[in-house]
Structure 1
């Protein structure tokens, strides 16, 4: 009988609840066991009492877990962004494989440190961009690699998700730095909708587990909420002749998306979460190929990593190299704007006591229509003669490898 894969969970609140649910609700052969939970405030987990009833030990820090002589085959890091690097490196140095939630970390320097520690340890370091583990996305990517679609021409994606005031009351939400001065750089493009920025680069990678690196970008970032960082972003990236447009906002009244449209020489690939929830490639000869729903099993990443550990493989679809292009964009934009995030005009902001069926929040009048217009026209807000729009100008990424930051 094979040994069970021992797992330590770091961060069980927020998205960490999904990992807890996946492990506690697992119905198959018992191939793993939870050996510890790391969270100084575990009450954020909806099933904390169930974990405790199983006599699973709790720790305030990942250092405390390992210092007590514990071992884990896999550390699942689902803590706030500023802890990803330290916790991942600690786990790797103690012989654990790591599945770290997206994004990799706050800065490119931290990502490099994590990759170096992975190489020294000879362990897996997977990043949890869930679409990169989806059979639908992986099948699409394989067809692109095989040349079925022809050369990529232009790609675009948009997600409009309202977020109420409560969303921003989490200690690190929309923070540039935390109270201790650690970089966080949390934003709509580095958290809730980071998947869709990453996915454009991921499907154009030259291998299953790599991503295309953008060569330049321009961005427009804004905030409606009283937060440090931005809640709305429009990013247009370029690599060679390929153009990629990403649009996202939390400062909207209603949910829309994600949607995407990826144009190639031979086909147009589309997805609409408000529609069929199915990725579809439409070819010039009238034929259509369907790939399925990329949201069907968002926690497949966990089973993929556990399976790799059991098989002694070091291959995972979303390696740290595959995830770096998204972080590259985030760091470059933050270096361009610093903390001077443009505020939407006050006269356009509306307070809603029941924002999109949730709690009290704020949205910007007309922003949804403007962003949808940008999506249809492949343009930035500033290209529609919007008086408040501010563009970063083109940022050269070819030699950008480190986040510069500011005091």
Structure 2
């Protein structure tokens, strides 16, 4: 992880500016309100291009004395007293905005995912290194106490040699979810890659976590060396809404993810870690269930004991690093490269986003929107987890076999992926 040491102590609140005030930006604004109450930070400026759509919020912020801009570049060039720029904007704009802010001399906290493509991420890492500033990514699960408890247990060898990790996400998303902005569910938007879907947005936290869990070095992520993945869509969108991914890391650990937003209901996110001595199941509420079958022993960490893992925790950590009170960011941009390799590699391996045969899709009205479900998807994913196989290997009738994509020297997306 990127060290924050040697940046000097100061007790004044860290001064933030935010690009955007609508959509997920409201979560950033809420976190900054909490920091202000704690004396850790204060929001002093915002930029928003969609003025009329966000008029009420902008008026509220202006009444609080914040400076409001309609051009983020102007804000960056004007607000030189700002310490940190937070970027909760659309995926296609993460990289250019983060790079611009770093070049202007600001610390940067960018929302997940860090970028759509590996080349954009590498440009962000390069800009961060040249600037000497901090650049963190809003993978908030990396701030959870349960997450760090599990990292420590793995590092201490309590589970033995890690052999397999499996990230599981079964959520439900209505058509209205994809109407929230112009890039939702899109592969490409306004001349830039978006790749918006569970892998690079809604469930990206789970995939990112896995490369920390399998690393031999505490607090560092280890890179995959190859990926085999199948990407599907049942919603009327461009990008994926269902996937199965298998990676192998350089230290020989198998990494699986099984994601869908076409489940009949949203379930708790879970991750299974299988070691030579024991296993662990991490849940989104930060609770953990440990088991050592050979010793007939179990141990649990309750959600009450664990806790954390929210966006406000990420902002607290970032502000404390800027102030010199903590030494490591929850998720520095440099440590997201393994995640980005896996995410882009999954698209490359799949070749395209395959359409699920309509025979296996249920589309039903729900409220003012429409729900999309893939028939038997909970059972399919359950079987895939149990047998540690991809959907096509199970003979699922709508599944398409794909090729392994090797990641050595991989620095530009796309190589094999094409929009169909």
Same fold (TM over 0.5): yes
Verify: 1:377 aligned to 2:387, yes or no: yes
Paired with 2:256 and 2:164, the residues of 1 have a C-alpha distance of 8
Query: Post-superposition shift, 1:69?
Result: 4.5
CA RMSD of aligned residues (A): 2.3
Paired with 2:408 and 2:368, the residues of 1 have a C-alpha distance of 42
Verify: 1:176 aligned to 2:165, yes or no: no
Match of 1:6 in 2: 15
Paired with 2:394 and 2:11, the residues of 1 have a C-alpha distance of 62
Of 159, 184, 204, 2:169 maps to 159
Are the aligned partners of 2:33 and 2:42 in contact in 1 as well (CA < 8 Å)?
no
Of 410, 413, 419, 1:400 maps to 410
Of 196, 199, 205, 1:189 maps to 199
Deviations 1:82-109 (A, max 9, x none): 1111111111112211111111101111
Greater alpha carbon shift after TM alignment, 47-56 vs 109-118: 47-56
Are the aligned partners of 1:14 and 1:44 in contact in 2 as well (CA < 8 Å)?
no
Paired with 1:295 and 1:49, the residues of 2 have a C-alpha distance of 35
Match of 2:260 in 1: 249
Greater alpha carbon shift after TM alignment, 289-298 vs 381-390: 289-298
Paired with 2:156 and 2:314, the residues of 1 have a C-alpha distance of 24
Alignment length (residue pairs): 401
Paired with 1:229 and 1:182, the residues of 2 have a C-alpha distance of 14
Paired with 2:154 and 2:344, the residues of 1 have a C-alpha distance of 28
Verify: 1:32 aligned to 2:41, yes or no: yes
Match of 1:327 in 2: 340
Are the aligned partners of 1:131 and 1:295 in contact in 2 as well (CA < 8 Å)?
no
Deviations 1:211-265 (A, max 9, x none): 1211112111100111111110100111243212100111222122312211112
Paired with 1:133 and 1:147, the residues of 2 have a C-alpha distance of 22
Match of 2:281 in 1: 270
Distance 1:205 1:320, change over 3 A: farther
Match of 2:232 in 1: 222
Are the aligned partners of 2:228 and 2:350 in contact in 1 as well (CA < 8 Å)?
no
Query: Post-superposition shift, 1:46?
Result: 8.4
Paired with 1:341 and 1:331, the residues of 2 have a C-alpha distance of 13
Distance 1:313 1:383, change over 3 A: same
Paired with 2:300 and 2:71, the residues of 1 have a C-alpha distance of 45
Are the aligned partners of 1:6 and 1:72 in contact in 2 as well (CA < 8 Å)?
yes
Paired with 2:129 and 2:320, the residues of 1 have a C-alpha distance of 20
Query: Post-superposition shift, 1:57?
Result: 1.8
Are the aligned partners of 1:190 and 1:330 in contact in 2 as well (CA < 8 Å)?
yes
Greater alpha carbon shift after TM alignment, 135-144 vs 160-169: 135-144
Paired with 1:218 and 1:244, the residues of 2 have a C-alpha distance of 10
Are the aligned partners of 1:124 and 1:315 in contact in 2 as well (CA < 8 Å)?
no
Are the aligned partners of 2:40 and 2:320 in contact in 1 as well (CA < 8 Å)?
no
Distance 1:337 1:265, change over 3 A: closer
Tell me the TM-score normalised to structure 1 length: 0.91
Distance 1:216 1:246, change over 3 A: same
Match of 2:324 in 1: 311
Query: Post-superposition shift, 1:403?
Result: 1.6
Verify: 1:298 aligned to 2:310, yes or no: yes
Verify: 1:78 aligned to 2:88, yes or no: yes
Distance 1:165 1:136, change over 3 A: same
Match of 2:28 in 1: 19
Paired with 1:317 and 1:95, the residues of 2 have a C-alpha distance of 21
Paired with 1:302 and 1:150, the residues of 2 have a C-alpha distance of 34
Match of 1:342 in 2: 354
Paired with 1:45 and 1:289, the residues of 2 have a C-alpha distance of 51
Distance 1:390 1:11, change over 3 A: same
Are the aligned partners of 1:174 and 1:227 in contact in 2 as well (CA < 8 Å)?
yes
Paired with 2:283 and 2:148, the residues of 1 have a C-alpha distance of 18
Partner of 1:156, secondary structure, is strand
Partner of 1:212, secondary structure, is coil
Partner of 1:353, secondary structure, is strand
Paired with 1:292 and 1:172, the residues of 2 have a C-alpha distance of 38
Tell me the TM-score normalised to structure 2 length: 0.88
Distance 1:312 1:128, change over 3 A: same
Segments of structure 2 that go 5 or more residues without pairing to the other structure are 1-9
Paired with 1:205 and 1:271, the residues of 2 have a C-alpha distance of 16
Paired with 1:242 and 1:4, the residues of 2 have a C-alpha distance of 43
Of 359, 364, 368, 1:352 maps to 364
